[in-house]
Structure 1
Amino acid sequence: MSWRRTVTLGAALLTVASPLAGTAAAAGKSAVQATAATAVRQGTFTDAGAERLADGRLVIRWHASADLGPAKVYWSADPEGHWQELARTYAKYNGYVTADPNPGGRVYFLIKGGNGAAVKTAERKLPLKGATNFRDLGGYRTADGKTVKWGKLFRSDELAGLTAADISYLQKSGLKTDVDYRTGSEVKSKPDPTIAGVKYVADPVFSDSDSAGGTDLISYLASGQFDKLGEPGDALIDGNKSMVDSPSAFGKLFDLILDSSTNALVQHCTAGKDRTGIGSALILLALGVPKETVVQDYLLSNVYRAEYNKAAVNAMVSQFKLTDPKAIEIVQALMDVRKEYIEAAFDEMDSKYGSIQGFLEKGLGLTAAEQAKLKRLYLE
């Protein structure tokens, strides 16, 4: 069975704001006065994030290298400006809980400390009903201290299930380009919805003939020929290597994102974890995000797809009456992303091109000038 073909199989298987930690009132008037009287030390925000609670409220969290004193929280539907004050709090609380200030639309937050230090953040996973793994690549720090802009580069699983509200949300977010890595047969089975104002770009990583061999694995599971399945994870390790060996789809991706008129841009496949995982890793690496951070982003698919993956594995176990532990582990491995999968791609870049940078230059054809342009477009 072609491991390269099997990469597609894993997908085919299937209102009033309040402080987060304590309040000024709870701390007492004297504590507030003491805080205000304390000189703000030099320091910066080291990270920030935002997550949505089940009731729709948003939890904004941050950390700083020192107590930055009084803090203001701002929000905007535009990550590059039009900030509106949301709340006043203290940096030492490390967070804030708020009702969604922009229901039905994308919202970004800006936190400013008393010494002028500031950090932007937003939800990493977009709150869409019809996609489980639609994520923003913004907010990641580069090795030289810059930050990937929010709201410009997205990654996702299949979009066929997007609701009317989801589509409206994406239009309000400024989405302009939809890059689809799926094969022709995958697209035919679940075509992307037409979104007014968004250009659709077919950019298959594999051909239909490459993916057709996925039926081999199904037949092996059905017939109990587990000895032909290889080891758990082998398929995606070899599949990731093959995407480095045949990277033309990702070259096309970079042609698109080098054109500023295409962003905001989303790239996606079926599960949003393998083909999209490599595409996202390459974008972040080209922008100078450290490899360790790239791996962390890659592994987030396990978090956002956990419920879906569990149901898919259980369905396969039930359908094929699997009791063999190795067979079950192989199915689980197909649904997961694992560090060894992305590391296999890095190793292939090192082996064939000498380094990740060598792959960017020779494998994808990104010149030094083009890499500098990417950084001007997508870093701040």
Structure 2
Amino acid sequence: MHFPNLLNARDLGGYPTVDGAQTSWRSLVRADDLAQLTAEGVRALADYGVETVVDLRWPEEAALYPSPVPAALPQVRYQRISLLTHTEDEWRLRSRDVAKELWKCVVLEHVRIELRHVLSAIAAAPAGPLLFHCVAGKDRTGLIAALLLALADAEPQAIARDYAMSSANLRDAYLKRYAGADPQRIVEALRCPEEGAYNMLQFLADAGGVRAYLAQIGLKEHVIERLRGRLRS
């Protein structure tokens, strides 16, 4: 898939599942910041059939770089639901010194209300293609993607590879974009270790499985089933 100026967009269809099937195409798309889209990119979004956009950015991020979707694609259902905490500063205070390998587990443990809101919105959306994104499309977006893939019984290796893919997708463009910065710091910031995904899956297993975890954060069974149906039609 190609949305001009996006670096980290991909359909979550075609991933192998533990029972030998594949996840459904043209249902869920993960991406980086839609504010980067060119006019051609906005048209490509419409041509792909995207019906719903869930914007996971903080209010400060959305205010600084507004999404083009509401004005350019009024037919698309647009929701901004801040994942993590309500502001960037608040999250920084709560997540200092968290190793990337454990980041997802920290979020699953401490950001349950926000996760419930985001997942409920995805479950309640019309059945057509839904795109969710943050800024780089790797951490917040990667967490939601990993949860949905786990619920669809995607193979653990596929979930880990999807998470790690973001580093390669972003690296060259970010090194050019921030040419005056320390390249090692950029590379470290973009790191998405597969171990982080495996640790998240172990966290879910320790909670009784992904379904049990989603029930613990307050999702009803019919909502969980609707979420699973997104990738297992």
Question: Residues 64-113 of structure 1, C-alpha deviation per residue, up to 9 Å, x if partnerless?
Answer: xxxxxxxxxxxxxxxxxxxxxxxxxxxxxxxxxxxxxxxxxxxxxxxxxx
Number of residue pairs matched by the alignment: 226
- Distance of 1:212 and 1:259 partners within structure 2: 30
The equivalent of 1:207 in structure 2 is 86
Q: Give the conservation status (yes or no) of the 8 Å contact 1:235–1:334.
A: no
The yes-or-no answer on 1:379 pairing with 2:232 is yes
Specify which structure has the higher proportion of helix. Answer: 2
Task: Please give the alpha-carbon distance, in whole angstroms, between the structure 2 residues aligned to 1:316 and 1:366.
Answer: 46
Task: Provide closer, same or farther for how the CA distance between residues 377 and 207 of structure 1 changes in structure 2, counting only shifts above 3 A.
Answer: closer
Query: Greater strand share, 1 or 2?
Result: 1
CA distance in structure 2 between the aligned counterparts of 1:372 and 1:349, rounded to whole angstroms: 17
Q: Which of 157, 161, 166 is the aligned partner of 1:301?
A: 166
1:138 aligns with 2:17: no
CA distance in 2, matches of 1:213, 1:311: 29
Q: Deviations over 1:161-213 (max 9, x none)?
A: 21111111111221111111111111111111122211111111122142465
Residues 335 and 375 of structure 1, relative CA distance in 2, 3 Å threshold: closer
% same residue: 23
Q: TM-score, normalised by structure 1?
A: 0.54
CA shift in 2, pair 1:364/1:295, >3 Å: farther
1:147 counterpart residue number: 22
What amino acid is the match of 1:267? F
Computed over aligned residues only, the root mean square deviation of the Cα atoms, in angstroms, reads 2.6
Matches within 5 A, 1:56-71: none
Q: Which amino acid aligns with 1:251?
A: R
CA distance in 2: counterparts of 1:364 and 1:276, whole angstroms: 20
Aligned: 1:343 with 2:222: no
The answer as to 2:160 corresponding to 1:290 is: no
Secondary structure, in 3 states, of the residue corresponding to 1:242? Answer: helix
Structure 2-normalised TM-score?
0.84
1:333 equivalent in structure 2? 188
Residue of structure 1 equivalent to 2:134: 269
* Pairwise CA distance, 1:268: 0.5
Q: Measured at CA, do residues 279 and 286 of structure 1 come closer, stay the same or move farther in structure 2, by a change above 3 Å? A: same
Equivalent residue letter for 1:207? H
Cα pair 1:176 1:197 within 8 Å, conserved = yes
1:316 match: secondary structure:
coil
Q: CA deviation at 1:305?
A: 1.4
Unaligned runs of 5+ in 1: 1-125, 215-228, 319-327
Q: 1:177 aligns with which of 39, 48, 52?
A: 52
- What secondary structure sits across from 2:115 in the alignment? helix
Whole-angstrom CA distance in 1 between matches of 2:39 and 2:26: 20
SS of aligned partner of 1:155: strand
Distance in 1 (CA, whole Å) between partners of 2:107 and 2:126 is: 27
Is the 8 Å Cα contact of residues 180 and 204 (structure 1) preserved in structure 2?
A: yes
In 2: Cα distance, 1:267 partner to 1:137 partner: 11
C-alpha displacement at 1:149, in angstroms? Answer: 1.7
Q: Using the TM superposition, name which of 356-365 and 287-296 deviates more.
A: 356-365
CA contact (8 A) 1:130 1:160 kept: no
- 2:100 equivalent to 1:241: no
In structure 1, C-alpha distance between the alignment counterparts of 2:79 and 2:125, rounded to whole Å: 16
Is 2:219 aligned against 1:365?
A: yes
- Between the aligned partners of 2:99 and 2:81, the Cα distance in structure 1 is 22
Return closer, same or farther for 1:376/1:355 CA change in 2, 3 Å cut-off: closer
CA shift in 2, pair 1:314/1:211, >3 Å: farther
State how 1:44-55 maps to structure 2 within 5 Å.
none
Answer whether contact 2:3 2:45 (CA < 8 A) is retained: no
Distance 1:338 1:332, change over 3 A: same
- Name which one, 1 or 2, has greater alpha-carbon Rg: 1
Asked whether the 8 Å contact 1:177–1:264 carries over to 2, the reply is yes
